[in-house]
């Protein structure tokens, strides 16, 4: 049940209370009073209690929720297919990125680089999200990079944006640093196969 339903129940309870104690003369009020007498408990008390308890529980559940931990890494099996790196590169090339974004491989000592060219901030964020989701599914490389080429300023430091998105998908085992128009993601526990 949604919070709006429980709030609705509280308003219904207020209406029933007015009919039971305030009006008592209209046909609807007489019906409500008769129902109260049959139940032995005022209907407004029952409906109000359900509404208040449900509302309190919905708030408690929302505060008690914690963000789910990132899914465990699913590294390709080298026993079945020894050419896992080729498959990683093929999967990276097939990512559903925005026009103006692509992934480069093994450039300047960096395993994977997401290149964003002339993208507005929201489209750049979507690409970073897709890239970090992809990184969570492959063996962790020592370093990944995001390069911004003539991209509009988002109003926040780029390394903060990348760090927030990366930590949501990859957890805390990484270090994010900024260099001019690039942001590096260094994995603290990279897969030795890289």
Helix ranges restricted to H, the chain:
3-17, 27-39, 43-64, 84-93, 121-137, 158-170
Lowest mean pLDDT among 15-24, 47-56, 116-125: 15-24
Q: What is the mean pLDDT of residues 138-161?
A: 93
Helix ranges restricted to H, 65-185:
84-93, 121-137, 158-170
Lowest mean pLDDT among 60-69, 107-116, 123-132, 183-192: 60-69
Does the structure show a pLDDT above 70 at 70?
Answer: no
- What φ, ψ does residue 11 adopt, rounded to 5°? -70, -35
The model's confidence at residue 123, banded by pLDDT at 50, 70 and 90, is very high
The structural domains of the chain, with segments of one domain joined by +, span 3-64, 84-187
| Adjacency order of strands within the sheet including 174-179 | 101-107, 110-117, 143-149, 182-187, 174-179
* pLDDT at site 76: 44
Does the structure show a pLDDT above 70 at 17?
Answer: yes
Which range has highest mean pLDDT (19-23, 56-60, 81-85, 115-119)? 115-119
* pLDDT at site 67: 55
- Closest among 137, 139, 186 to 159, alpha carbons compared: 186
| pTM of the complete model | 0.59
* pLDDT at site 63: 60
Q: What is the mean pLDDT of residues 98-102?
A: 94
């Amino acid at each position: 049940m949604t919070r709006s339903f429980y709030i609705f129940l509280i308003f219904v309870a207020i209406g029933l209370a007015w009919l039971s104690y305030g009006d008592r003369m209209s046909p609807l009020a007489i019906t409500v009073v008769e129902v109260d007498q049959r139940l032995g408990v005022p209907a407004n008390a029952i409906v109000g209690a359900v509404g208040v308890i449900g509302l309190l529980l919905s708030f408690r559940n929302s505060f008690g929720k914690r963000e789910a931990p990132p899914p465990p890494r699913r590294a390709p099996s080298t026993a079945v297919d020894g050419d896992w790196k080729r498959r990683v590169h093929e999967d990276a090339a097939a990512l559903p990125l925005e026009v103006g974004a692509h992934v480069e491989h093994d450039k300047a000592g960096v395993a994977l680089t997401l290149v964003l060219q002339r993208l507005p901030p929201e489209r750049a964020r979507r690409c970073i999200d897709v890239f970090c989701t992809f990184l969570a599914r492959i063996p962790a490389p020592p370093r990944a990079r995001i390069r911004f080429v003539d991209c509009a300023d988002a109003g926040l430091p780029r390394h903060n944006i990348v760090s927030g998105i990366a930590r949501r998908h990859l957890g805390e085992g990484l270090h994010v640093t900024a260099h001019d128009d690039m942001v590096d993601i260094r994995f603290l526990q990279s897969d030795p196969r890289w």
